[in-house]
Amino acid sequence: MLASSITARVIRGIRRGLICALAMSATPVCAATYTDAARGFAIDYPDGWTVDTRFQDKGYRFFQGESEDLHEGVAFSPSTDLAPGTALQSDQLKLVVERARPADMCQASAFLVDPPPDYFTKTVVDKPDVVQTVAEAGDQYVIEHLVVMASRKPCLAVHFIIVAARQGRAFDHAKLVDYLNAIAKTIRPAP
């Protein structure tokens, strides 16, 4: 679904300093700021997006009784459809900022949970600074996880969760990743 060139653009964009005005529509502006002193970061995000300060990404092992297969973070989600009339499921889109758990290594793959065994999951990129997986969740949806390291101290990653229907008009994936990347670029140490 994603070419490695898009992944490379995510890394370059975070390092280069894209601004939040790069957008899916004509009016997106990062007008709101969220500060999380406990996790050690602040981020600007588009006005009107929702913030879930208790987001939990639960993996397959969590549901099998292994509670360590759980990652907590702050999730930001659009409140409107970013690509109307396309296969993109904007209501399930998440940009999550996560801090590494104490025993985790500070690398992108440490921020992923195990997918259910009945999902066909392909690892597209697996590097210390970025990991990308694409899972076929049955015959209706594709779930993409793209994790990019945002900071080493504190150890923070930004995790894009993109859900798309398998049927329907295609959305501009590169533009969506650029848009999310522009928001992620605003991550900075908490004041």
Residue 181 lies in a domain: no
Q: Which of 64-68, 69-73, 102-106 has the lowest mean pLDDT?
A: 64-68
Residue 179 lies in a domain: no
Range of the domain at 140: 4-59+69-80+87-169
Residue 184 lies in a domain: no
User: In the prediction, which pLDDT does 89 show?
Assistant: 95
Count, residues in the chain: 191
Residue 182 lies in a domain: no
Residue 59: pLDDT band with limits 50, 70, 90:
confident
pLDDT tens digits along 139-179: 889 999 999 999 988 899 999 999 999 999 999 999 999 99
Residue 64 lies in a domain: no
Per-residue pLDDT at 27 exceeds 90: no
Residue 187 lies in a domain: no
Q: Mean pLDDT, the chain, as a whole number?
A: 84
User: In the prediction, which pLDDT does 139 show?
Assistant: 82
- Closest CA relative to residue 74, chosen from 48, 45, 102, 103: 45
Extended strands (E) in 106-140:
120-126, 130-137
Domain count, the chain: 1
82, 177 Cβ separation under 8 angstroms? no
Which residue is it, tokens 């859900």? 163
Backbone angles phi, psi at 47, to 5 degrees: -60, 135
Q: pTM value? A: 0.84
